[in-house]
Amino acid sequence: MHPIRIAPSLLAADFARLADEVRSVEQGSADWLHLDVMDGHFVPNLTFGPVVTAAIAKVATRPLDVHLMITDPWRYADAFLDAGAAWLTFHVEVEGHGDVPGLLRHIRTRGAKAGLSLQPDTPAARLAPYLAELDLVLVMSVFAGFGGQKFMPEVLPKVAELRRLGFAGEVSMDGGIGAGTIAASAAAGTNVFVAGTAVFGAQDRAARIAELRALAAAAR
Ligand code: DX5
Ligand code: ZN
């Protein structure tokens, strides 16, 4: 079994105090830092790019888990790898825009881990042609674009479906993960838990991360 990893999403952090926010979740034993990159095209929202990612990398001590919600990851992957992405994930829904296996192999050649993400209405089978090139699958449990949305339990069977298709890598879930939903996600087979609001909305981030980790561990 892959290790449980709690990955706070900085989308819910105070962007005017990013270094402090990173420190607070690292001191709270976050395993990874999840960075949500949005281009205003693949999703209706805009966040940040390689410059801010590099600034976070300078103060971070945990791996950066970069989630590209962008239409053209081929154009920007190297910039995020140069900026310090340890895990780089893009969306399978952009597959018509370029060579997906080629980009996955490129990410790995550069020494990072490669991931693909599924929107809630994209079936797991869409990943079948790419599974051999993948280190991680990011199952969205809300539609990409905004933090603070409600968890969609109907995506849970996708984790078992990925295993049936032969995927043995890490499975991450993103969107609406918190104390009330993480057990169901862990029971379904998820090992990486992205949590924005649940972690950064807590006064005591360390306590919240510990609570999430314990709930996930008990449910596996
Ligand atoms: C949504 C992002 C998520 C988001 C999760 O598009 O990919 O990472 O920040 O936020 P919460 O945990 O608040 O749902
Ligand atoms: Zn995300």
Q: Where are the domains of the chain?
A: 5-219
The tally of CA atoms less than 13 A away on the side-chain side of residue 108 is 14
> From the CA of 141, which ligand is nearest?
1
State phi, psi for 55 to the nearest 5 degrees.
-65, -40
pLDDT tens-digit series, residues 56-75: 999 999 999 999 999 999 99
Is the domain covering 5-219 a CATH 3.20.20.70 domain?
yes
Q: What is the CA 107 to chain-centroid distance, rounded?
A: 16
Whether 27 and 211 have beta carbons less than 8 Å apart is answered as no
Q: Band of the pLDDT at 137, cuts 50, 70, 90?
A: very high
Q: Is the CB of 145 under 6 A from ligand 1?
A: yes
Mean pLDDT across the chain: 98
> From the CA of 144, which ligand is nearest?
1
Point out the ligand 1 atom lying closest to the alpha carbon of residue 176.
14
> Ligand 2 mean position to 30 CA, how many Å?
15
Catalytic residue positions, numbered: 36, 174
Instruction: Using only the alpha carbons of the chain, give its radius of gyration.
Output: 16
> For position 36, what pLDDT does the model report?
99
> For position 92, what pLDDT does the model report?
99
pLDDT tens-digit series, residues 70-104: 999 999 999 999 999 999 999 999 999 999 999 99
> Ligand 1 mean position to 149 CA, how many Å?
8
> For position 94, what pLDDT does the model report?
98
> Ligand 2 mean position to 165 CA, how many Å?
24
> For position 108, what pLDDT does the model report?
98
Which is nearest to 117 in space by CA: 185, 72, 156, 67?
A: 67
